[in-house]
């Protein structure tokens, strides 16, 4: 719930109170390893905007997979959640390069 509230707080920092009713889409990037459950975030967001000027806003979530760079074979690979070794050479010397994201990309406002 607090993450959904933080998203709304950020939106309110960037739009005027008069624009809130015109916010249509809030696009975020959500990493698979961020620790946030997508469905819970969507539910909490919709609960928080209900009966507010932001009630027409929807959350559009782009899922970001876990990717790592192997420090042995120097190849980039997608990893399974909880399995942190290179699928190409088997090394556990990997550097996470994506999957921890939780960021707002855009706030779309209608011009009506």
Q: For residue range 3-56, what is the model confidence (pLDDT) as tens digits?
A: 999 999 999 999 999 999 999 999 999 999 999 999 999 999 999 999 999 999
Q: For residue range 66-90, what is the model confidence (pLDDT) as tens digits?
A: 999 999 999 999 999 889 999 999 9
Number of domains in the chain: 1
Q: Any residues with CB less than 8 A from the CB of 14 and at least 6 apart, and which? A: 107
Q: What percent of the chain has pLDDT over 70?
A: 99
> What domain range is 25 assigned to?
2-109
Distance CA 82, CA 36 (A): 15
Q: pLDDT value at position 112?
A: 67
pTM for the predicted model, two decimal places: 0.86
**CATH number of the domain that residue 75 is part of:** 3.30.2320.80
């Amino acid at each position: 719930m607090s993450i959904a509230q933080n998203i709304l707080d950020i939106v309110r920092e960037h739009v005027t109170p008069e624009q809130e009713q015109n916010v249509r889409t809030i696009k975020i990037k959500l990493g698979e390893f961020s620790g946030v459950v997508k469905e819970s975030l969507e539910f909490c967001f919709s609960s928080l905007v209900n009966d507010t000027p932001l009630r027409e806003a929807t959350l559009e979530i782009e899922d970001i997979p876990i990717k790592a760079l192997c420090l042995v074979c120097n190849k980039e690979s997608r990893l399974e959640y909880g399995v942190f070794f290179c699928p190409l050479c088997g090394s556990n010397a990997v550097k996470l390069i994506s999957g921890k994201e939780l960021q707002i990309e855009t706030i779309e406002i209608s011009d009506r």
